[in-house]
Amino acid sequence: MSEIFSSAADAFIDAVAADLGRLSGQDDHAPECVIEASNLVSALIDADGRHSKAELDGWVGSLGRRLDPPMIVTADTLRGDDTFGGRAEWLGRPSTMFDLLVRADARDAERRANRYYSLALELAHATAALDLVPSHDEIAAIDRFRTMLLTTMDEHGVPRPGQPDASPRAAATAGTAAAEEAPEPELPPERPVEEILAELDALVGLADVKAEVRRLTSLLRIQEIRAARDLPVIETSKHLVFSGNPGTGKTTVARLLSQLFRSLGVVSKGHLVETDRSGLVAGFVGQTAAQTKKVLTSALGGTLIIDEAYALARGGENDFGLEAVDTIVKFMEDHRDDLSIVAAGYPTEMGELIDSNPGLASRFTRTIHFPDYTTDELVAIFALIAGAKEYHLDESGETALAAVIDAEPRGRGFGNGRFVRNVFESAVGHQALRLADVEEPTDDQLVTLTGDDITPSAPTHN
């Protein structure tokens, strides 16, 4: 394991030193980069306060000896002196070196900060992989560090890894519009992890959901590093419960998650198959198992999302839905290495479904809750939907839209993103009627939705 850690440290030091050299016109920036790598590793070691022997031995063997002057110490000495105590704070703000690289990129449109980011995260994951079981605090610290680096790039107008241009807003529009409008091909091409995470970050709202997906991604990366060295790994379940009301982004996130799994080598294809009770349960004895197995087989190598999955356990002991559940549990066991299942539905009912079968409870160990969108978030989603069709709201339209959203009851039937899509489609119809008597409407009139177009009579459910 120390070889992978040392390799990650060397790669970071060499690449960042080279970038600094090209900036300064001087040759040897390696000593400064050794200190930068040491600060990063020390901060991660301190993130959970454990300061394990494996972590400290990794630092001593790869970085301590490269410092100037070298630190020839042992893990016991470092732990006894609490050498790394308080170092975790380093992760909370951009270092002087990263700030320099970001500012230089903002000036001359280079990607040095992107290289720093990618290599620093590789080193961070390699550090966490030194222990058999990376702690929750370490995973959370990596996510905070990643977010800090990306936020710093945003503040200086530097494109994030995975973004084609310098505008986070433009990337948000493109990413969300693609998720809303374009169905994924059955076998999408494999994409870099950071490109997929950039699309995830660009989605409106869902801060806790995004953080949970990023933490799962980090955990899988760390286990991948250990597996590459034939070291013991902790099996990480790819089966999740997505709880929340309709239209809260569950399918969009499941699609991105499946692509992440493929890029990480967790599944072989990365496609998404969507189904519900009607797609799994047949009407006659003996047919449900075959029908369910057919759907599951079609999802092999990717992700199966079962919408309103709780309906499978709602028919009583003699209902065929229970046969589907039993088939799913067995299939999950037989194909644990190349299938992810996401069971989605209302929070309370999903809890009841998982509790109904011990096999489900032992396999669906991770639940991600999708909250309803706020009014401001729904207005932003409306703007993305409209922008994809080359429409936009004027000020009166934004005010009217917020009022319509606020007036809609936020019960179980509230459609969230689906609701504002219906409002948009209704608004387009109202605009067409409004302009029907205009002999030659201008381009601006044709693309502008006003307060008169956003009405309470718009459809409220899909």
Residue-wise pLDDT for 279-302, tens only, equals 898 766 678 888 899 999 999 988
Please provide residue 411's backbone torsions phi and psi, each rounded to the nearest 5 degrees.
-90, -165
Beta bridge partner(s), residue 340: 303
CA 164 – CA 111 distance, rounded (Å): 11
Can you name the residues that pair with 367 across neighbouring β-strands?
241
Q: Determine whether 137 is exposed, middle or buried from the number of CB atoms within 10 Å of its CB (0-12, 13-18, 19+).
A: middle
Position 233 pLDDT exceeds 90: no
pLDDT tens across 319-350, in order?
A: 677 888 889 998 988 887 889 999 998 888 88
Residues 6+ apart with CB under 8 A from 180: 252, 384, 385, 388, 417, 421
**Rounded to two decimals, what is the model's pTM?**
0.73
Intra-chain end-to-end CA distance of the chain, in Å: 52
Residues above pLDDT 90, as percent of the chain? 39
Residue 315 — very low, low, confident or very high, per pLDDT cuts 50/70/90? low
Residue type, 207: A
Q: How confident is the model at residue 460 (pLDDT cuts 50, 70, 90)?
A: very low
> Rounded CA gap, 125 and 122, in Å?
5
Query: For residue 410, what pLDDT band results from cuts at 50, 70 and 90?
Result: confident
Residue 290 Cα distances to 189, 279, 296, angstroms: 30, 11, 10
CA distances from 282 to 19, 128, 147, 211, 320 (A): 62, 47, 47, 38, 7
Q: Where are the domains of the chain?
A: 2-155, 168-204+237-370, 375-449
**Average pLDDT over all residues of the chain:** 85
Model pLDDT for residues 428-448, shown as the tens digit of each residue = 999 999 898 888 889 999 999
Q: Quote the distance between the C-alpha of residue 10 and its chain's center.
A: 28
Q: What distance in Å separates the CA atoms of residue 233 and residue 222, rounded to the nearest whole number?
A: 9
Contact between 322 and 312 under an 8 Å Cβ cutoff? The reply is yes
**CB neighbour list of residue 433: distance below 8 Å, 6 or more residues apart:** none
Quote the pLDDT of residue 324: 87
Within 8 A by CB and 6+ apart from 382, the residues are 393, 401, 420, 423, 424
Domain 168-204+237-370 and domain 375-449, same fold? Reply is: no
Contacts of 101 (CB under 8 A, 6+ apart): 16, 19, 20, 23, 112, 113, 116
Share of the chain above pLDDT 70, in %: 90
> Which residue is listed with tokens 């999802």?
299
Asked whether the predicted pLDDT for residue 378 surpasses 90, the reply is: yes
* Predicted pLDDT at 131: 84
Measured distance CA(62)–CA(4) in Å, rounded: 10
Helices marked H in 25-62: 30-47, 53-62
pLDDT of residue 225: 86
pLDDT at 24 exceeding the cut of 90: no
Residue 408 has pLDDT above 80, yes or no: yes
Q: Which CATH class name applies to 375-449? A: mainly alpha
Our CA angle for 442, 445, 446, nearest 5°, is 90
168-204+237-370 has which fold? Rossmann fold (3.40.50)
What does the pLDDT read at residue 175? 41
